Structure 1
Amino acid sequence: MSASYPSLLASTQRFRLGRPQRLTVTPDGRRVFFLRSRGPEDPVRCLWQLDLETGAERLLCDPFELASTAPALSAQERARRERARDQGAGIVAYGFDQDVRVIACTVGEELHLVGMRTGTVTPLPARTPLTDASISPDGAFVAYVHDGELRLIGTDGGGDRALATPEGDAITYGLAEHVAAESMERQRGYWWSPGGDRLAVARVDNGPVGTWYLSDPTQPEAPPTAHRYPAAGTDNALVTLWVYGVGGERVEVDFGWDDYEYLVDVVWDQHGLLAVLQNRPQTVLRTVAVDPENGQVSTLAETRDPAWTQIVPGVPVRTSAGALIATADLEDTRHLTVDGKPVTPAGLQVFEVHGVDGETVLFAASDEPTERHLWTWSPADGLSRVTDTPGIHSGIRTSGTTVINSATLDGHAVTVNGVTAGGVPGGGVTAGGRTVKDLSATSPVVPLVNLLQIGERALRTAVLFPTGWQGESLPVLMDPYGGPAGQRAVADRDPYYASQWFADQGFAVIIADGRGTPGRGPRWERTIHGDRSTFLLEDQIDALYGVAALHPALDLTRVAIRGWSAGGYLAALAVLRRPDVFHAAVAGAPVTDLLLYDTHWEERFLGDPRTDPIPYENGSLIGDAPRLSRPLMLIHGLRDDNVYPVHTLRLSAALLAAGRPHTVLPLPGGSHMPPGVDLLTPELIFIKDALHIA
């Protein structure tokens, strides 16, 4: 295997650069807009249009042609991108008015307009640096956030002014607070009304939240950066919702619920304003209708669960007729509901609602956890499956035009269906549909993935062997994630590039999704309530032994484990508590002290540590330091503001105090996202040395 492959993997962002992303469809269903860089190692995204009648692509905005004077990213924008896991450059976001006359796009932290009739790109004199710009539906204004202040500027370039100004340094308007963006999948802090005359605006008071600091030891002259970080068991930000008119008049929304602590989402559609609230224990999820005139609310729907209520992306949303689309966990199935009534069968687990087109709901669901398919439901046609090829499929739909983003074991493709050759929206499907060009690189490593169901719990498990393997004895590398935020054993090629590279270095690589991971139903997800560590470890061991029973050539005297974030925690947990099974570990960005991670995430699974600290003590790794008897490498970005470097440093300090040798690989300037450098080679050298592999 070429020694340059790990560097290629990093420079192409795992072969994702050059792919179309952030696709939208115009209201008439005839055009698709998207962002895409110019090539496989180019991170600078351009704005493109695909004409569905002709199949022609048109470049609308090229950042290289703009005379940008923006400095290095501001701390506010760096934090936003970290929450969104955005490593790209160039155009950050874009949006168009309801008549698609103009597109507002953010290039770096500057604002530009694309005139659709003239094709010209002009800068708007908005204050910089700015973040999260959004054009009003009527095309009159662009709202944006500068220094925590929500501002409006006319699309004619005039009238730049403050709409909502912070009353203090700890207050922001129009931004999502840390836990909303990191743990609730809410990246926005303001929402336009359909008419463009008002906005719902989140006011965030971070005053109660503790201040943490990050500094880069390689730049001792630079001051540390302060962050408001709500660690488990501490105070959250105070979040309120206000309705502003574009003239500046405002009214506060009175949620009238003493237990409300989290603003989960806001939806403003043709039927009115909705807000979704959650209490601190996350046992109640409430959807309320808001009267924008006086701020009064009424409850539309409520979900309760003694463990936690699950936030599902894309809901609530309403159809054109006003039916409320949501989900409900009933009899171990996450159902799609319409006005509270389930419309999907038992066993079909809903992952996400991608949107509503008239009365048709487009959503992702599956009865097989390794796959995720697109489905539609409508009153007229009932339930229909859109995709069939095993893989992870997502999409959008407008005026009968459906854009399907498919990731399978054979590769990645974006196709568009639903427009006739004559361009009539909703008139049928073109022969084979349109395909959006993909300019990403082809990997020289082709993952050879075996998807299995292992053991009595049918653990979904992926196994990869060296290319051309003939059955000789192999050491084992476990390569899990294991956390509730996602799956690794899926019918999608993308997660396996690094795994196959390790396999080609002479390992059997095993990736198992245990209890708590998505896709297996509410009961499976909530098994870990109160105790994640026990089940995490049990399931990895069961997967290891189950695969070894099928392949006796696996050498169980040489087993290593690697992982990042939740996978890093799992890797460190494995060698600390089960050194009889795991003989070496590489733990990247691990959470080692559960009290040092955020409120919304940790308290969902383990409760409030102020009430019961025992689950946190049982799951944390610091106290296990004296037990280390196997080689352990810890890797951490020194500017990680999600899992702070304190996690690795405290574990390292405890290991040193216990006289336990270990390896620490610090990443100066590194965040929680995978760095753009080769980490695979040092990991490989460490693992081979630890397992005594020549």
Structure 2
Amino acid sequence: MTYLSFPRQHARTQRFTLGVPRAFAVAPPEPGGAGRVAFVRARAGSGSPDGGGGAEHLLWVLDVPAGGSAADVPAERVAADPVALLGGADEELPPEERARRERSREGSAGIVAFAADRAVETAAFALSGRLFTAGLVPGAGGARELAVPGPVIDPRPSPDGRRIAYAARGALRVVAADGSGDRVVAEPDGDQVTWGLAEFVAAEEMGRSRGYWWSPDSTALLAARVDESPVQRWWIAEPAHPNRAPVEVAYPAAGTPNAEVSLSLFRLGDGAQEGDGADAAGRADRVDVVWDRARYPYLAAVHWSAGGPPLLLVQARDQREQRYLEVDTATGATSTLAVEEDRIWLDLFPGVPVRTPEGALVRITDEDGVRVLKVGDRTLTGPELHVRAVLDAGGAGAPGDPGVLVTASAGAAAGEPEIGEVHVYRVGASGAERVSTEPGVHGAVRSGELTVLTSVALDRPGALTRVLRGGTPVAEIASLADTPSLTARPRLLEAGERRIPTAVLLPTGYRESDGLLPVLLDPYGGPHGQRVYASHNAHLVSQWFADQGFAVIVADGRGTPGRSPEWEKSIAGDFAGVSVADQVEALEALSGYFPLDLDRVAIRGWSYGGYLAALAALRRPDVFHAAVVGAPVTDLRLYDTHYTERYLGHPDERPEVYDANAVVTSAGLQDAKEPARPMMVIHGLADDNVLVAHSLRLSTELLAAGRPHEVLPLSGVTHMTPQEQVAENLLLLQVDFLQRSLGLD
């Protein structure tokens, strides 16, 4: 076996994610009956050096026998192999699919996502812009292509499995599962209009990657119409290829117009005969959904289940007010089920809104400083839990008991902190029952009595995936992920008066006689970016940096998720001051307990972490002596509406807040202090999320101020860095820069 260095192994395994099962769909079995779990997984834990040979994901099925006795052996089988379906040809992604994957940070190949019908008997997925379906029950006959107009984006079977809806060239279309009767449901009425796709801010910031939803009886579709004509245009060029035209992107920067998003319901009929539910021209009957879009322009979430009429969650642009609406499917009128207001901002949460089978509205909200689960008018959790997401509201308990499955962290009333842990709970009328038992980070997918529980822990690499019937494990889904060539040894603790969640990593084999160590802070440090997890693999890169001779500190300061609403909202209007202050507090608090050389302190980060690293080196050079600044947002007026305005307000109304929080303003470097500290600035030239303009403006101002810095432009690289050689060499070049800048070489 060829030995791979950790940087090469980390890159080739796509951060040890290849071979890990994910994207589970669970068939709802009869009590005690046979079950079925569909999922995707790469065929191996690492790809070949050219990016193939194991990196592509296949669609798999695990058959869970009835009863689940020790003599029953669950069997895995391949339902669809992309190599076979494409005849060995390389996958070619349409621009729309490439954008979808960028928004979800998906860097893998093959069948990376699929959708299934209610019974999990039929799956639909796209490869190279072509539509494929696969039978998931034993003996179904394998996968096949349906000949439809493309390129196909986001195909989804109807709940009854009889039809497939998909987006193509701006239209929403539907075809029978046997490939017959393909037709347009909704067609764009302009060059900048699409049906059935999520707009940029929905996919990037709201967690809504979908643009259409099937009715539970499979006879209708709710579809989003997105008009991007009001959105300003920017252009992303490829300087390494001057013969290529720049790519035009619609980017809604803070303070500028968003895309206009509306919603319509299309009745397709029951499918008994061709033309059901359509007019003489073959178009589906249309009912426009009506709400106050001027006051609530953001369509944050949509849910439609057998529990009742469709649910919408709509937000005001300042995100201080939102409404849960119910849609009258006959008229398109909406009525309000709940209103939420917050003087700072309102967060969005995965999995909500949703209904219980009895029709009750399930949501997560903040009450008296506690993030709680509400079902109808009842609050089912208290300060002992900090609820993070709803996984399933289908109910698995006594009649009338919602039995909602959630993930949560320990809340303020839970006693001793479980630093970095996230658990799965079943919450019902009688209270919350923990489903995951071992320390670590857990997630789940449930249908009926079957639950797929995924767990990671500090004391072992990789993920463990178990299938539970009720609360009893009956099967495991194998992980094919490679084992890391090093062992992460983080110590998780709370630092400083604010009890900042922190991980500290020292070089493997470090002894007290080795003396003080140069320090590397390795944070993300901002919204949506928790880094301190009770997970081994989450700390692998930090451990590798530690093994290069550093004491590495990862601190989740105020603004990061998982602790309390107050903690997250402490950064309102003040990214810069709060985020830097908490990194300094963690560093100073730990200096009395760990061998830290405070005369040699560096910081590195990517995205918000890159922004934080630049701020730290410029505003606190008395503490930080060097910085690696990756893909930073340096001028917050150039970042998107939904994210930036949530935290800092509208730039036309609060220009002084934007200036105070910027690394670079029109007047130059903001609040930079002496002495000047060296920076390595890294940015992908193809980044359509944080445009390279941020780093170019930073470099211009650093040069004008005579401040030392290096710029590393990454040709063809987006906000992700999935390319193997790029990902590997980025780690090596950062270590070289840090050693030179701190005088360690």
Shorter-chain TM-score: which interval? over 0.9
More deviation in 510-519 or 658-667? 658-667
Report the Cα distance in structure 2 between the residues aligned to 1:464 and 1:340, rounded to whole angstroms.
Answer: 46
State the partner residue of 1:618.
Answer: 660
**In the alignment, structure 1 residue 114 sits paired with structure 2 residue 134:** yes
Give, in angstroms, the shift of residue 158 of structure 1. Answer: 1.5
Report the Cα distance in structure 2 between the residues aligned to 1:376 and 1:118, rounded to whole angstroms.
Answer: 34
Specify which of 261, 272, 283 is matched with residue 239 of structure 1.
261
Q: Per the alignment, do residues 70 and 556 of structure 1 end up closer, same or farther by CA in structure 2, a change over 3 Å counting?
A: closer
State the partner residue of 2:501.
Answer: 460
> 8 Å contact 2:296–2:316 — kept in the other structure?
yes
Give, in angstroms, the shift of residue 159 of structure 1. Answer: 1.8
Report the Cα distance in structure 2 between the residues aligned to 1:585 and 1:569, rounded to whole angstroms.
Answer: 10
Report the Cα distance in structure 2 between the residues aligned to 1:415 and 1:627, rounded to whole angstroms.
Answer: 50
Give, in angstroms, the shift of residue 413 of structure 1. Answer: 3.0
Give, in angstroms, the shift of residue 301 of structure 1. Answer: 0.9
Give, in angstroms, the shift of residue 70 of structure 1. Answer: 7.7
More deviation in 680-689 or 57-66? 57-66
> 8 Å contact 2:688–2:718 — kept in the other structure?
yes
Give CA-to-partner distance per residue, 1:196-240, whole Å, 9 cap, x none: 111100001111110111121111111111111000011111100
- What is the correspondence of 1:316-395 to structure 2 with a 5 Å cutoff? 316-358=353-395, 359-367=402-410, 368=418, 370-379=420-429, 381-395=430-444
Give CA-to-partner distance per residue, 1:499-547, whole Å, 9 cap, x none: 1111001000000000111112111111111111101000000111111
Identity of aligned residues (%): 46
**In the alignment, structure 1 residue 86 sits paired with structure 2 residue 86:** no
State the partner residue of 1:272.
Answer: 309
CA RMSD of aligned residues (A): 1.6
Where does structure 2 lack aligned partners over 5 or more consecutive residues? 47-53, 66-72, 269-277, 279-283, 396-401, 411-417
> 8 Å contact 2:91–2:127 — kept in the other structure?
no
Report the Cα distance in structure 1 between the residues aligned to 2:493 and 2:97, rounded to whole angstroms.
Answer: 42
Specify which of 146, 159, 182 is matched with residue 204 of structure 2.
182
Q: Per the alignment, do residues 100 and 457 of structure 1 end up closer, same or farther by CA in structure 2, a change over 3 Å counting?
A: closer
SS of the equivalent of 2:701 reads: helix
Over 6 Å off, 4+ runs: none
TM norm structure 1: 0.96
Give CA-to-partner distance per residue, 1:595-643, whole Å, 9 cap, x none: 0000000000000111111111001111327647011011001111111
State the partner residue of 1:474.
Answer: 517
> 8 Å contact 2:28–2:450 — kept in the other structure?
no
Report the Cα distance in structure 2 between the residues aligned to 1:538 and 1:686, rounded to whole angstroms.
Answer: 25
Specify which of 546, 549, 553 is matched with residue 589 of structure 2.
546
More deviation in 81-90 or 626-635? 626-635
Q: Per the alignment, do residues 257 and 240 of structure 1 end up closer, same or farther by CA in structure 2, a change over 3 Å counting?
A: closer
Report the Cα distance in structure 2 between the residues aligned to 1:655 and 1:3, rounded to whole angstroms.
Answer: 38
> 8 Å contact 1:360–1:376 — kept in the other structure?
yes
**In the alignment, structure 1 residue 127 sits paired with structure 2 residue 163:** no
- What is the correspondence of 1:23-172 to structure 2 with a 5 Å cutoff? 23-28=24-29, 30-41=35-46, 42-53=54-65, 54-67=73-86, 72-115=92-135, 116=137, 117-172=139-194
SS of the equivalent of 1:542 reads: helix
Give CA-to-partner distance per residue, 1:154-182, whole Å, 9 cap, x none: 11111222211111111111110010000
Give the residue type in structure 2 aligned to 1:273.
Answer: P
Report the Cα distance in structure 1 between the residues aligned to 2:119 and 2:376, rounded to whole angstroms.
Answer: 31
Report the Cα distance in structure 2 between the residues aligned to 1:411 and 1:655, rounded to whole angstroms.
Answer: 41
TM norm structure 2: 0.89
SS of the equivalent of 1:549 reads: coil
Where does structure 1 lack aligned partners over 5 or more consecutive residues? 420-425
Report the Cα distance in structure 2 between the residues aligned to 1:151 and 1:473, rounded to whole angstroms.
Answer: 64
**In the alignment, structure 1 residue 670 sits paired with structure 2 residue 717:** yes
Give, in angstroms, the shift of residue 369 of structure 1. Answer: 5.0
> 8 Å contact 1:190–1:201 — kept in the other structure?
yes
Give, in angstroms, the shift of residue 71 of structure 1. Answer: 6.5
**In the alignment, structure 1 residue 252 sits paired with structure 2 residue 281:** no
Report the Cα distance in structure 2 between the residues aligned to 1:616 and 1:11, rounded to whole angstroms.
Answer: 40
Give the residue type in structure 2 aligned to 1:485.
Answer: H
State the partner residue of 2:562.
Answer: 519
Report the Cα distance in structure 1 between the residues aligned to 2:349 and 2:544, rounded to whole angstroms.
Answer: 34
> 8 Å contact 1:92–1:107 — kept in the other structure?
no
Give, in angstroms, the shift of residue 257 of structure 1. Answer: 5.4
Specify which of 305, 323, 328 is matched with residue 291 of structure 1.
328
State the partner residue of 1:415.
Answer: 465
Give the residue type in structure 1 aligned to 2:481.
Answer: S
Q: Per the alignment, do residues 224 and 140 of structure 1 end up closer, same or farther by CA in structure 2, a change over 3 Å counting?
A: same
Report the Cα distance in structure 2 between the residues aligned to 1:408 and 1:94, rounded to whole angstroms.
Answer: 28
Report the Cα distance in structure 1 between the residues aligned to 2:120 and 2:531, rounded to whole angstroms.
Answer: 39
Report the Cα distance in structure 2 between the residues aligned to 1:169 and 1:235, rounded to whole angstroms.
Answer: 18
> 8 Å contact 2:94–2:128 — kept in the other structure?
no
Give the residue type in structure 2 aligned to 1:669.
Answer: G
Give, in angstroms, the shift of residue 660 of structure 1. Answer: 2.2
> 8 Å contact 1:577–1:624 — kept in the other structure?
no
SS of the equivalent of 1:418 reads: strand
State the partner residue of 2:16.
Answer: 15
Report the Cα distance in structure 2 between the residues aligned to 1:71 and 1:479, rounded to whole angstroms.
Answer: 35
**In the alignment, structure 1 residue 534 sits paired with structure 2 residue 577:** yes
SS of the equivalent of 2:393 reads: strand
